[in-house]
Amino acid sequence: MNKIIKQIPLYRFLGFCTEMGIEKKVLDCGAGGDCPPLNLFCEYGFETCGIEYDQKQADLANEFGSKNGHDLNIRVDDMRNLELDDESFGCVYSYNSIFHMTKVDVKKSMDEMKRVLKKDGLMFVNFLSTEDHRYGEGPKVGDNEFEQIDYGQPVIHSYYETSEAENYFTGLDVLYKENRVLERIYEGKKIRQGFIDYILQKK
């Protein structure tokens, strides 16, 4: 029985990748955690590779893959300086990861993701929007950049205006864009989350 992953927008990205006949070799930048979406891509016949900054999170993801009969191939690496060859993947994505750094580092990461993506390949990336309930919380460290606490640890969060992130998209065509603002109950409180999702194709 196939596992259902939590990262729902990636089902749309998977649909684009399969329907457009993109080479089934995928890279996940920010691949760690206890329910890694690379498992979904394995189930649809993709050769997978993942990079993760934290060894513990990488181990959790690989353990999940092993329990479900998949070698997810997730290792520790830095998305700002990927130890991967140019144009080596048909599909590249970063889900809820790239905005956990300053905008200077976001640009470095976007440039690296573009570098390892093949011509005509597809990319999914999403950004926190200024409509998110945590926007403005914590010490300001840059332009709509704040140090906030996640799971007891200080983490940079960068927030974006509606089209701001498109400055990173030189050499890419936008195939899909969604500005998602959703309300949900989290730890007994209603919260508002804001994300801007993109599916892009390398020219």
Which range marks the domain in which residue 173 is found?
A: 9-129+160-202
Residue 110 domain-assigned (yes or no): yes
Paired tokens of 32 = 């760690």
Q: Is residue 125 part of a domain?
A: yes
Instruction: Say if 134 falls within a structural domain.
Output: no
Q: Is residue 141 part of a domain?
A: no
Name the residue with tokens 């990336």.
125
Q: Is residue 23 part of a domain?
A: yes
- Tokens 């993760």 correspond to what residue? 52
CA 196 to chain centre: 12
In a domain, 122, yes or no: yes
pLDDT tens-digit readout, 16-39: 999 999 999 999 999 999 999 999
CB 70 within 8 A of CB 85: no
* Domain contains 135: no
Give how many domains the chain has, as a whole number.
1
User: Domain holding 36: CATH number?
Assistant: 3.40.50.150
- C-alpha distances (whole Å) from 14 to each of 9, 49, 161 are 9, 15, 26
Residue 59: partners with Cβ closer than 8 Å, 6 or more residues away? none
Find the mean pLDDT for residues 187-192. Answer: 92
Phi, psi values for residue 27, rounded to 5°? -115, 130
Establish if 170 belongs to a structural domain. Answer: yes
Cα end-to-end span (Å), the chain:
37
The residue type found at 141 is V
Q: Which of 83, 80, 81, 93 is nearest to 25 (CA)?
A: 93
Largest pairwise CA distance in the chain: 46
Q: Name the residue with tokens 């990205």.
A: 13
Query: pLDDT tens digits, residue range 150-184?
Result: 989 999 999 999 999 999 999 999 999 999 999 99
In this structure, the strands spanning 89-94 and 25-29 are: parallel
pTM: 0.95
For 78-122, the pLDDT digits (tens) are 999 999 999 999 999 999 999 999 999 999 999 999 999 999 999
